[in-house]
Amino acid sequence: MAKKEFQSESKRLLDLMINSIYTNKDIFLRELISNSSDALDKLAYRSLTDKKLKVKKDQLQIEISYDKEKRLLTISDNGCGMTKEELESNLGTIAKSGSLAFKENMSQDEKNSIIGQFGVGFYSAFMVSDKITVTSLSVDSEDAYLWESEGVDGYTIQKGKKDKVGTEIVLQIKEDTDEVSYSKYLDEYELKNLVKKYSDYIRYPIRMEVTHHELVDEEKHEYKDTKEVETLNSMVPIWKKASKDVKDEDYDNFYMDKFSDYDKPLKVISSSVEGMTSYQSLLFIPSHAPHDYYTQEYEKGLALYSNGVLIMEKCADLLPDYFSFVKGVVDSEDLSLNISRELLQESQGVKLIAKNIEAKIRKELETMLKENREEYISFFKTFGVQLKYGVYNRYGQDKDKLKDLVMFYSAKHDRLITLAEYVSEMKEDQENIYYASGASVEKIGALPQVEQVRDKDYDILYLTDYVDEFCITAIQKYEEKPFRNVSDEDLDLESDEEKKATEKANKDHSDLLKEMSSILGDVKEVRFSNKLKSHPVCLTTKGDVSIEMQKVFDAMPNDMGIKAEMILEINEKHPIREKLQDLYENNHDEFLKYTKILYSEARMIAGLPIDNPTEISQLICDVISR
C-alpha cells in the first residue's frame, strides 16, 4: 500500500520527537489520555442535541492495557472516533504547526522547548514507540479505519476492524537503551502512578486490569494473585475539590496540561459560589504571555462546563477584554443544556457568573499588589499593557475598576508605583500629577522639560508604553488631582517675577519671534521661556494632543491627520538668544539657517523625525565649517 507523506512541518516535529532526548517522556500518556477525554466530551455533547445517538453516559471510559512480551501498550476510548478524513487531517498534520519556530541547527534546549511548548499531543507518543497503530470508528462513519506509522517515513490508512464507536491506539514500545528504560511503560505499577500523577482529574474512568496480591495463608506466607479491572483516577475534576485538598503541584500540572503551557501559572484562583447561579471556577494567571497574546489570533475565554459536560472550550463572554489573559474552567449545574451555545452566551446565568469572575480576579490582583508586590510587578510587566488598554477602551467605562491596578515608572523612586502612591507623596504646594512621555526612561530623563519639575522636587511619572498617555487621559484625575504633561506649554511653575521677565522678553522681541515662526510654518508659536535650564530649545504643546500621542496617531494605518499644536520654546538665559537678536538685525540669511537648525534640534530631542535631513545637515556644516 502506498505510504503517504507527513506534511513537512509535522515531519520535522516527528523527527524531533523520535530523536528526542527530552527527559520527560512520561507526558505522552497524559497527552493520549487527554485526547481520549476530549473525544468523550465531544460524543457526550453530541448526544445532547442528537437524540438518535444512544450514548450511555456512565459507560464512557478510557482503557489501558499492555502486553509485556510483545511490548505493546494500548489506550482506547469509546469517544467520538475519527473518520478516514479526520485520521488523515488530524494525524497527518499538526494543527498548531503554523506557529512552530523551526530553525536550522537547533540546540537540544531549543528542541526541548519546542516539545515543551507545542510538541506535546499525539506525536509525543513517538518518543517511546517504534510504531503506532490507530484504529478508529467514527460516529459519523460506517467503516472503521486503521492508521499506521513507523515515524518520519510516512503513514498508511486502510480499512480496519472495529465494532464499537471509538478509538484504539496501540504503541509498539521501544527497546530499552543504556539511558532509558522504556519497559516502564509496560509496567503496571508505573502506569498506575503515571495516571495518578498526570490524569487523576480526568472526569471519565481510566480503567486498567490490576493485580492484587492476596495473602491466602498467613503462616506459610502464601499469596495468590487475582486480577481485576480498576479505575485508576479519582475522576473528581480538580475544580470540584476544595483547594485545601489539592496540592499546588496538582494545580500546576492541570494548568500546564490543559492550557498547553510549559511554565507554571503565576497565580491560581479557585472558588466555589452558591446562589441563584451556583458554580465552581478554577482560574489561572499565566506567568508569561502566550506567544500569540498580543496578536489578533489570540482568543480569550474560559472553558465552560455544565453538569460535567464541556459546553464550550472558550466562552469569551465570561471574561472582560482587560482580563483576557486569564485561563481557566467554570462549571455550573444551573446552566440549561437544552439551549444552543449562542443563546447560552446571552443567558442571565452566564452574565452573572461573568460579573462575579471579573470581581474575583480584580480582588485577587488588588491583594497581590498589596501583599506581594514583587509578584504583582512581574504580573504587571507581562500583562499591564492590557490593563492600561482596558482603562481607556470602551470610552473609559471601566477606568474606576482598573485605575488602582495600573502602575507607572516613577522618576523619584526609579521603579513602578501606583497612582495612589504618587498622590500620597505629593508636595504641599503641588497641584498636579506630572508625567512625561517618550521612548525610554533614559530618553525621557534627558528631556529639557523634565529638569524644571524635578528641581521643585516633584515626582514625574515616566510613560514609555504607547498606551500610557491614552490611559492617563482617560483617567483624567486621580483623587481630584489632574494629570499634567511636563511638555505642556504652560506649567505655571515660575515665580511672578520670572513670569513678568519672560513676558517682557517675548513682547520686546515679538517681531523676531514672529519671523521665526513664519520661517518654520508648522509650529503654532515661537517664544522665549525660562523653564529651560541648560538646553537651548524644546518643544511644548497646547491642547489635548501631545507629541507622543501624535506619534501613535501617525503610526496608525488610517492617518486621521490629528496633529499636536507645537510651540518652539527658546531658553531666554541661553547665549543663543543674543546671537539670534544679532542675526535678526544684521544677517537675515544666517537668521534663517539658525532658526531651522534650532527647530530641528528641538524635534530631535522630542524624538520626532526631521522632514528635510539633508538640508539641515548641510546647514549645520555651513555653520560649523566657518
Instruction: Give residues in contact with ligand ADP (CB under 6 A).
Output: 31, 35-36, 39, 77, 79-82, 90, 94-95, 121-123, 167
In the complex, least distance from residue 314 CB atom to ligand ADP, rounded to whole angstroms:
14
If DSSP codes are grouped into helix, strand and coil, which group holds residue 523?
coil
Return the sign of the alpha-carbon dihedral for residues 261, 264, 265, 266: negative
In the complex, least distance from residue 141 CB atom to ligand ADP, rounded to whole angstroms:
12
The Cα 76–Cα 414 span in angstroms is: 58
Task: Report the residue number, 138 or 386, with the smaller CB distance to ligand ADP.
Answer: 138
Given a contact cutoff of 8 angstroms between Cβ atoms, the answer to whether 465 and 414 are in contact is no
In the complex, least distance from residue 124 CB atom to ligand ADP, rounded to whole angstroms:
8
Task: Report the residue number, 40 or 350, with the smaller CB distance to ligand ADP.
Answer: 40
In the complex, least distance from residue 8 CB atom to ligand ADP, rounded to whole angstroms:
16
Task: Report the residue number, 77 or 515, with the smaller CB distance to ligand ADP.
Answer: 77
Task: Report the residue number, 137 or 444, with the smaller CB distance to ligand ADP.
Answer: 137
In the complex, least distance from residue 2 CB atom to ligand ADP, rounded to whole angstroms:
22
Q: How many Cβ atoms sit within 10 Å of the Cβ of residue 410?
A: 18
Task: Report the residue number, 75 or 302, with the smaller CB distance to ligand ADP.
Answer: 75
Task: List all residues 6 or more positions away from 199 whose beta carbon is below 8 Å from its beta carbon.
Answer: 29, 30, 33, 34, 206, 233
Return the sign of the alpha-carbon dihedral for residues 169, 175, 176, 180: negative
Task: Report the residue number, 10 or 277, with the smaller CB distance to ligand ADP.
Answer: 10
In the complex, least distance from residue 53 CB atom to ligand ADP, rounded to whole angstroms:
15
Task: Report the residue number, 121 or 328, with the smaller CB distance to ligand ADP.
Answer: 121
Task: Report the residue number, 159 or 220, with the smaller CB distance to ligand ADP.
Answer: 159
The Cα 569–Cα 316 span in angstroms is: 50
CA 83 vs. chain centroid, Å, equals 35
Task: Report the residue number, 136 or 530, with the smaller CB distance to ligand ADP.
Answer: 136
In the complex, least distance from residue 25 CB atom to ligand ADP, rounded to whole angstroms:
16
CA R_g for the chain: 34
H or E stretch at 542:
strand 537-542
The Cα 67–Cα 55 span in angstroms is: 30
The Cα 207–Cα 232 span in angstroms is: 6
In the complex, least distance from residue 318 CB atom to ligand ADP, rounded to whole angstroms:
22
In the complex, least distance from residue 11 CB atom to ligand ADP, rounded to whole angstroms:
14
Task: Report the residue number, 136 or 306, with the smaller CB distance to ligand ADP.
Answer: 136
In the complex, least distance from residue 168 CB atom to ligand ADP, rounded to whole angstroms:
9
Given a contact cutoff of 8 angstroms between Cβ atoms, the answer to whether 73 and 66 are in contact is yes
The Cα 472–Cα 244 span in angstroms is: 41
Task: Report the residue number, 82 or 387, with the smaller CB distance to ligand ADP.
Answer: 82
The Cα 53–Cα 262 span in angstroms is: 38
In the complex, least distance from residue 383 CB atom to ligand ADP, rounded to whole angstroms:
24
CA angle 391, 288, 327 (to 5 degrees): 70
Task: List all residues 6 or more positions away from 453 whose beta carbon is below 8 Å from its beta carbon.
Answer: 434, 460, 486, 491, 493
| Residue 114 phi, psi (nearest 5) | -65, -45
The beta strand positions in 451-524, using DSSP E, are: 460-463, 477-478, 481-485
Given a contact cutoff of 8 angstroms between Cβ atoms, the answer to whether 420 and 404 are in contact is yes
In the complex, least distance from residue 261 CB atom to ligand ADP, rounded to whole angstroms:
13
Task: Report the residue number, 31 or 515, with the smaller CB distance to ligand ADP.
Answer: 31
DSSP alpha helix (H) spans, 200-247: none
| Residue 540 phi, psi (nearest 5) | -125, 170
The Cα 27–Cα 24 span in angstroms is: 6
Task: List all residues 6 or more positions away from 135 whose beta carbon is below 8 Å from its beta carbon.
Answer: 144, 145, 146, 147, 160, 161, 162, 167, 168, 170
